[in-house]
Amino acid sequence: MTLAPDEDLMLQVRDGAGEMLGVLFDRYQTPLFNFYSKLTRDRMRSEDLVQQVFLRILKYRQSYRPGTPFRAWVYQIARNARIDHFRKFPREKAFEPEMLPPVRPTDSAQEQQEVELLHRALLQLPEDKREILLLCRFQELKYEEIAELLGCELNTVRTRIHRALQELRKSFHQLTQDRLKPANTASAQNLPPRGGRHEV
């Protein structure tokens, strides 16, 4: 297993060492997949998009310049791939609770609940806010890199992150409050009998 920095590997890919892209794939496929899956909640599309990113790396490898941080470069490609993909195939699915990933069995009950509510709160954010939180919290991009990625000032990034976090906090707080209320509002009479999903 090579420990070479991403940038060196990418330069080798650029200069013809195709097999080095495999090392970069191993390092980035899970973070990229999580970026997409937490943004879209669609595993299949996320996997397709990860493939698109690596195809684009090959396609644009000659444009990679020494000194460019690979992480920032690859997320630029990832964002563009997503924008192009959703332009071609608009989303038809809204978020549904069953799209949440399974909770690990080792988690405590309270933690499970927090994870679920946090997931929901995150999904309630507008996509641009969710994206900026994912980029800085999960993809570990520096604010400077995010500024370059989004084409804005560093201070704008700070403000956007703070606003996104404020909204996430409110959403999470609201969901936690709702969870504490007794669930007596759902009326049983509205529940359809078998085959009810076809009732129009």
Tell me which residues touch another protein (CB under 8 A): 15-19, 21-22, 25, 29-30, 33-34, 37-38, 43-44, 46-48, 50-51, 54-55, 58-59, 89, 101, 103-104, 111, 114-115, 118-119, 121-122, 133, 136-138, 142-143, 157-158, 161-162, 165-166, 168-169, 172-173, 194-195, 197-198
Least distance (Å) between residue 151 CB and another protein: 18
Least distance (Å) between residue 16 CB and another protein: 3
Q: Which is nearer to another protein, 41 or 186 (CB)?
A: 41
Least distance (Å) between residue 44 CB and another protein: 5
Q: Which is nearer to another protein, 108 or 187 (CB)?
A: 108
Q: Which is nearer to another protein, 8 or 186 (CB)?
A: 8
Q: Round to whole Å and give the CA distance between 129 and 146.
A: 13
Q: Which is nearer to another protein, 177 or 184 (CB)?
A: 177
Least distance (Å) between residue 136 CB and another protein: 8
Q: Is the dihedral of CA 128, 130, 133, 139 positive or negative?
A: negative
**HSE-up of residue 86 (Cα within 13 Å, Cβ side):** 14
- H-state helical runs in the chain: 6-14, 20-40, 43-59, 70-88, 109-124, 127-133, 143-150, 154-180
Least distance (Å) between residue 194 CB and another protein: 7
Least distance (Å) between residue 185 CB and another protein: 26
The CA–CA distances, whole Å, from 30 to 60, 131, 164 equal 21, 16, 24
**HSE-up of residue 182 (Cα within 13 Å, Cβ side):** 1
Q: Round to whole Å and give the CA distance between 81 and 154.
A: 24
Q: Round to whole Å and give the CA distance between 160 and 81.
A: 23
Cβ-Cβ contacts under 8 Å for 195 (sequence gap 6 or more): none
Q: Which is nearer to another protein, 64 or 183 (CB)?
A: 64
Q: Which is nearer to another protein, 65 or 89 (CB)?
A: 89
